[in-house]
Amino acid sequence: MLGRSLKADFLKMKNLPVLWAHIWLPVAINALFLFYYAFTGWSASAKIIGFFESVGAGFPILIGIFAADVAEHEQNAGRFQNLLSQPRKTTAFWSKLIFLSLSGLFSVVLTAVIFGAGFRMIANNCDIGMITYLTAALMMWCSAIPLYIVQMIIAFRFGKGASVGTGLFAGLLGALMLTDLGRLVWEYVPPSWTGRMPVTYLRVVVGTPDAVNELKKAIPIVCVVTIMSLLCYRLWASRFEGDRITE
């Protein structure tokens, strides 16, 4: 049942911008950063950390936009009747969450691969391997799962404007948490995780002493919040009755 729902969602979305954006955005972002890095004098580790900080800070904004597009498409296709008429309504909502999050996984992995390959070409003194980039990308994606859930609920309940606005606020908050203001509290601020988690891991790789303790503190919190978010999403999906969303 879930497999059929995922296939149906892919067929519905394959020609929409929300799917293609997950392919073209990694290419565009990498082209911009690699061109800039080719002419800057920063250290290799500073460039890598700066790249993942920027991508991580922008991730919540994109999640808000993509969740809004998914909800809007479903509303336009019969005001949620395709969802509500299915024998297992929760399966349809799980399908949409999985589809969107897997698209995000593909996108962050593609971003890491392109950056890793491109950065090796322009950096002569970098010994960080592709596995490190992929691990950082996976940590970014895993820490984004609660954001996907929250944005899906907001998009279906309150509409495109609320989802995009919340995504922008989350992105700004996440960027703020990347500064010294968030150094002591970022573990408790989910919008900061997509930037802070991969960057903290990279700081561990380059040998920053306090980064290990930060990561040990953050990982259990992220896991607990993710599990609670999934349970809340299951409960919300089972009670969704096609409330009219607003702009």
When pLDDT is averaged across residues 196-202 and rounded to a whole number, the result is 94
Which residue has 């309940």 as its token pair?
Answer: 157
- Do the domain assignments include residue 209? yes
- Do the domain assignments include residue 67? yes
Do 100 and 13 meet the contact criterion of CB atoms below 8 Å apart?
A: no
Do 91 and 5 meet the contact criterion of CB atoms below 8 Å apart?
A: yes
- Do the domain assignments include residue 26? yes
Domain of residue 76 covers: 2-239
Nearest to 186 by CA among 197, 170, 198, 202: 197
- Do the domain assignments include residue 146? yes
Q: What integer pLDDT is reported at residue 210 of this predicted model? A: 84
How many angstroms separate the CA atoms of 69 and 87, rounded? 24
Number of structural domains in the chain: 1
Question: Angle 44-76/160-177 helices, nearest 10 degrees?
Answer: 170
- Do the domain assignments include residue 247? no
Q: What integer pLDDT is reported at residue 245 of this predicted model? A: 47
- Do the domain assignments include residue 244? no
Rounded (to 5) percent helix, strand, coil in the chain: 85, 0, 15
pTM of the model: 0.91
Which residue has 């896991």 as its token pair?
Answer: 223
Do 212 and 187 meet the contact criterion of CB atoms below 8 Å apart?
A: no
Binned at pLDDT 50, 70 and 90, residue 211 comes out as confident
- Do the domain assignments include residue 96? yes
How many angstroms separate the CA atoms of 92 and 78, rounded? 15
**If you average pLDDT over every residue of the chain, what do you get?**
87
- Do the domain assignments include residue 30? yes
Q: What integer pLDDT is reported at residue 134 of this predicted model? A: 96
